[in-house]
Amino acid sequence: MTMHDAIERFVHDGDRVSAACGLEARIPFAAGHEIIRQKKRDLTLVGPISDALYDQLIGAGCVRAVEAAWIGNVGTGLGHNFRRAVERGDPHPITVTDYTNLTMALGLRAAAEGVPFAVTRSIAGTDLAAQQTVFAPVADPFGGEKLTAVKAIPLDVAIVHVQRVDDNGNAHVFGNLGTTHESVRAAKRCIVTAEEIVDAKIIRSQPNATIVPGFLVSAVVHEPGGAHPAPVLGVHERDHAFFEAYSEASRDLAAWAAWRMQWIDGVSDRAAYLRRLESRP
């Protein structure tokens, strides 16, 4: 399936979407940019961390709410579009629910396992714990110790970028896995974007590496370079300079609009983006 068709069919306005399972690696930037081109609206973005992709989706006006552990630009720090949305309501106000990495992963896992909450010892004594819609004190029923319950975090769509996948969506993932297991299983639908489509025999030759079982997958998109500028182990390194250029451009609205035209709205698809990347002076 093309990226255009996968996003058109399986990402709907108002959906709860996660494109953040790798934290810094394998971030599905190509899918995020197609979401921006198709002007999806009122999305709830779910983390834990999506390097700078969520900052771009927020700046493009696709987002109504963010539930995450960290929103910014990992190499440089602050997310300028995220800040404008929270501090000034530009392009429109968003709500933010703050998690830690572990509490977010446990909430996703609870959803993946079909239970209403997870328990943790994290966040006691912090101001995160005051967010009563998602955290609540709970006593150990076997001993009475005070813990924190983390409400399950269900998703409509999980989007993951992987090294290789077969036609049925069975995907091999290499490198650090972040919340890949939990995010895919917490979602009603899953879009897999992949560097390579391979024969099912290759997937079955190494079943321990099959992190995404195909029966959970709604769409398989062959999208080489689909995570750039995020790193993909064995394929390409992180493009630090590209992240830094985005950080600079996103500091003000005019430069962000120009950056967005150059790299998102002004290219038809990822292949065109990669041609533009290669032809840079």
Binding site for other proteins (CB under 8 A): 22-25, 48-49, 51, 68-72, 74-75, 77-79, 82-83, 86-87, 96, 98-103, 105-106, 109, 120-128, 174-182, 230-231, 233, 237-238, 240
Please say whether the beta carbons of 61 and 85 come within 8 A: no
| Residue 18, both tokens | 């996660």
257 torsion bin: left (phi>0), alpha (psi -120 to 50), beta (else): alpha
- Cβ closest to other proteins, residue 40 vs residue 172: 172
- Cβ closest to other proteins, residue 68 vs residue 134: 68
- Cβ closest to other proteins, residue 24 vs residue 42: 24
Nearest approach, Cβ of residue 225 and other proteins (Å): 15
Q: What are phi and psi of 157, to 5 degrees?
A: -135, 130
Sequence-distant (6+) residues with CB within 8 A of 111 are 152, 153, 154, 155, 182, 185, 186
Nearest approach, Cβ of residue 39 and other proteins (Å): 25
Please say whether the beta carbons of 265 and 37 come within 8 A: yes
Label residues 145-166 b or e (16+ Cβ within 10 Å = b).
eebbbbbbbbbbbbbbbbbbbb
- Cβ closest to other proteins, residue 5 vs residue 113: 113
Nearest approach, Cβ of residue 156 and other proteins (Å): 21
Nearest approach, Cβ of residue 35 and other proteins (Å): 21
- Cβ closest to other proteins, residue 10 vs residue 225: 225
Residue for token digits 């834990």?
48
Nearest approach, Cβ of residue 235 and other proteins (Å): 9
DSSP 197-227: E--HHHHHT-GGGEEE-GGG-SEEEE-TTTT
- Cβ closest to other proteins, residue 11 vs residue 85: 85
Nearest approach, Cβ of residue 176 and other proteins (Å): 4
Distance CA 198, CA 172 (A): 10
Distance CA 27, CA 19 (A): 7
Distance CA 171, CA 210 (A): 5
- Cβ closest to other proteins, residue 11 vs residue 187: 187
Nearest approach, Cβ of residue 56 and other proteins (Å): 15
Distance CA 13, CA 248 (A): 30
